[in-house]
Amino acid sequence: MKRLAVSALAALLLGACAGPEPRVPELRGTGDLGVVVERASGRVALVEHSHDTVLGRVEGLGDLSHAAIVFSRDERYAYVFGRDGGLTKVDLLTGTIAGRIVQAGNSIGGAISEDGRLVAVANYEPGGVRVFDAGTLAPVADIPTGSKVVGLEDAPGNRFAFSLYDSGEIWLADLGDPASPRITRFAGIGRQPYDALVTPDGRYYIAGLFGEDGLAMLDLWNPEAGVRRVLQGYGRGEAALPVYKMPHLEGWAVADGRAFIPAVGRHEVLVVDLATWTEVGRIPVHGQPVFVMARPDGRQVWVNFALPDNGVVQVIDVRSQAVVHRLDPGPGVLHLEFTPRGERVWLSVRDADQVQVYDTRTFERVSTLPAEKPSGIFFTTRAHRIGL
Amino acid sequence: MKRLAVSALAALLLGACAGPEPRVPELRGTGDLGVVVERASGRVALVEHSHDTVLGRVEGLGDLSHAAIVFSRDERYAYVFGRDGGLTKVDLLTGTIAGRIVQAGNSIGGAISEDGRLVAVANYEPGGVRVFDAGTLAPVADIPTGSKVVGLEDAPGNRFAFSLYDSGEIWLADLGDPASPRITRFAGIGRQPYDALVTPDGRYYIAGLFGEDGLAMLDLWNPEAGVRRVLQGYGRGEAALPVYKMPHLEGWAVADGRAFIPAVGRHEVLVVDLATWTEVGRIPVHGQPVFVMARPDGRQVWVNFALPDNGVVQVIDVRSQAVVHRLDPGPGVLHLEFTPRGERVWLSVRDADQVQVYDTRTFERVSTLPAEKPSGIFFTTRAHRIGL
């Protein structure tokens, strides 16, 4: 009882000084919190996945048509990267904006350093990477590139890796001394890198190429060896169908020593042996895969699809490497996110204005949350993962 | 300013009703919190690893001479399993005891279910596993075994795996329906299992044997195949020296597709290929290894040792599989814990009454915290990992 009284009082006081859209701040853990992007309205819904509820909403985040989100190392704050160059720090406990800057004219995403002290943003215009203090959002470093920057990822050792779309380069920036980044440039890595990922173990940075086939891979344990090409056939060149949407790379699933990768333009998920980086299998699926994501225990891989098949989700059993289940959540399944240990998965179903929550063993829908044109779903556990 | 005023007020009110040793509860994230066991005094220190400070202490936890700790899925509560059968739920935000029961006469550890709703305890006396509601600590299920229970681990699918010391069995308990566990028994798995682990991917349950050599392994993806023996030579039989302390199994490091395992009685860390479960190398180290733990990015493995070498810690570089650094933190290094992404490691140095924090790249000591005879260190990020 006293606890509630205190929270309510705190709410009034905080509400009075905490900026737009305050909600009752309660003393609570933050390990089960998350953010759902409500793309059309430039706001996010704050959610929790212990009881599957919406805790509040935060408006005024600008253009979220290609929003990326990372979390502070204490899992209290979300950093929202807007398409319009806005960087907003959202307090998940008070439901308020703790800081906001517009740091460039046109941005494509960001990352947070291993130690949680630096937030980096990849910019198209002006092309480059800007680095900010995670606490204050004060500028720390500016890395102009003369090119659109894509595929910005954090890497172990307080490094950031990113790709230059126009000049076909990968840069590795060591921010051990934040004020003066040490840059290692890798040129001629391939035409028009368009996205990238860091493998979940933090070892490999891999860029997809729009201008040619194959993937550019940098071994972060051995950058001296340079960037090498893997999966030569991977890309639009192999497409048997028009490519409706280049698949996301960050969603790559790694399970049982293998990577499960969305084929480009084909109704297939590729299976790649991570020891040799060679393709060892292809799994036929319902449409052109967009996100191919492994349940945290690696036993299942869940796949959503590009138009016209984006109303379907399929589940691949990793042991048998076959599709074992199909869901029809409704049109516009844009993203999925597993609970930290994988017992549940959340799906954003844009055209139903819903987030649907499924039990990953029974495949039953256990909850439905209202959300306005939801796109990305991000849980705070990402704060403790590499390359997310 | 108002935030502080509110916190202070909340502190007074909460303090008045929150039980022993309340501390100022502030609205804060819980992703950077942890617990350090102060073994001799039956209490824990509450810590945070963003600024390396002690936030408070909680007393009255009974016999912590072999304490294990798990965390609630929201990362607010720690469940402390005492040697005396006590199970205490500690609120990390208020620094108070949220619940405590003495559920058996003699206990050896516990686990929390994948969904975070069940806490299970392994008991020697009476032998068996008892399962409690994680919210209320109300009893949910009782699984008598007629044997001392060791190596209780959570497994994907709301299952618990554990081993029977006296009868040489492994039991797999499915708590999909918590009130009526479905038990699968595996008999004749080997003499006197004494500890166990679940691999970080949640796939394998592996028990160490005190009564004979080799390890008993259950593939949780394929339990129908039964328990098989791996690493036949592993155990005291190979010991070239008296065994001062059987190494902990839960600390097993998995990195780069290999497991790094403490040899028993030898000054070696064994390297095991996880595809074949065969030994592929041995790394000479300073003493008899106790904990062999991988930095979260898998690039380093840190090792501490049994008497008389427990004042030394060595660091193995996974790529070269050689020791690259030695630290001398002081006598009685009992445990180590990495920050979630691995930029720092915390060491408990019992005889110095210190917890020492090191940068894992420069190997410099960056912080020292006072702690009374510290043993285990546990960070809340464990809430989101399998088998911890």
Partners of A3 on chain B (C-beta within 8 Å) are 14
Residue range A94-113: mean pLDDT, rounded: 93
Q: Is the pLDDT of residue A18 over 50?
A: no
Q: Do A361 and B74 lie within an 8 Å CB cutoff?
A: no
Query: Which of B31, B256, B275 comes nearest A74 by C-beta?
Result: B31
Tell me what pLDDT residue A386 has. 83
Tell me what pLDDT residue B251 has. 63
- Residue-wise pLDDT for A318-373, tens only, equals 999 999 999 999 999 999 999 999 999 999 999 999 999 999 999 999 999 999 99
DSSP character at residue B248: P
Mutation target vs A (from B49, B258, B384, B388; most A CBs, 10 A cutoff): B384
Contact indicator for A303, A280 with CB cutoff of 8 Å: no
Q: Do B297 and A384 lie within an 8 Å CB cutoff?
A: no
Query: Which of A14, A115, A319 comes nearest B6 by C-beta?
Result: A14
Whole-number percent of chain A with pLDDT over 70: 93
Confidence band of A251 (pLDDT split at 50, 70, 90):
low
Tell me what pLDDT residue A256 has. 77
Contact indicator for A215, A204 with CB cutoff of 8 Å: no
Tell me what pLDDT residue B344 has. 98
Partners of B29 on chain A (C-beta within 8 Å) are 30, 72, 74-77, 92-93
Rounded to a whole number of angstroms, the CA Rg of chain A reads: 20
Residues of chain B with pLDDT under 50: 1-21
Confidence band of A190 (pLDDT split at 50, 70, 90):
very high
Q: Which residue has the higher pLDDT, A21 or B3?
A: A21
Q: Do A297 and B14 lie within an 8 Å CB cutoff?
A: no
Tell me what pLDDT residue B323 has. 98
Tell me what pLDDT residue A237 has. 76
DSSP character at residue B247: P
- Kindly report the backbone phi and psi dihedral angles of residue B17, in degrees, each rounded to the nearest multiple of 5, phi listed first: -130, 10
Q: Do A29 and B114 lie within an 8 Å CB cutoff?
A: no
> Which among B66, B74, B146, B140 has a CA at the least distance from the CA of B110?
B66
Residue B362: count of CB within 10 angstroms of its CB: 9
Mean of the per-residue pLDDT values for chain A?
90
Q: Do B115 and A343 lie within an 8 Å CB cutoff?
A: yes
Tell me what pLDDT residue A252 has. 73
Tell me what pLDDT residue A233 has. 85
Q: Is the pLDDT of residue A5 over 70?
A: no
**Which of A17-26, A258-267, A355-364, B63-72 is the most confident on average?**
A355-364
Partners of A298 on chain B (C-beta within 8 Å) are 201-203
DSSP calls for B22-90: --------STTEEEEEEGGGTEEEEEETTTTEEEEEE------TT-EEEE-TTS-EEEEE-TTSEEEEE
Tell me what pLDDT residue B236 has. 77
Tell me what pLDDT residue A15 has. 38
Q: Do B5 and A13 lie within an 8 Å CB cutoff?
A: yes
Tell me what pLDDT residue A353 has. 97
Q: Do B9 and A9 lie within an 8 Å CB cutoff?
A: yes
Tell me what pLDDT residue B23 has. 56
Locate tokens 């209490």: which residue? B43
Sheet holding B258-262, edge to edge: B253-255, B258-262, B268-273, B278-284
Least-confidence region, from A210-224, A251-265, B56-70, B99-113: A251-265
Tell me what pLDDT residue A200 has. 83
Residue range A161-187: mean pLDDT, rounded: 96
Query: Which of A114, A203, A299 comes nearest B341 by C-beta?
Result: A114
Query: Which of A75, A157, A361 comes nearest B31 by C-beta?
Result: A75
Q: Is the pLDDT of residue A242 over 50?
A: yes
Partners of A299 on chain B (C-beta within 8 Å) are 156, 202-203, 221
Q: Do A221 and B25 lie within an 8 Å CB cutoff?
A: no
Partners of B16 on chain A (C-beta within 8 Å) are 2
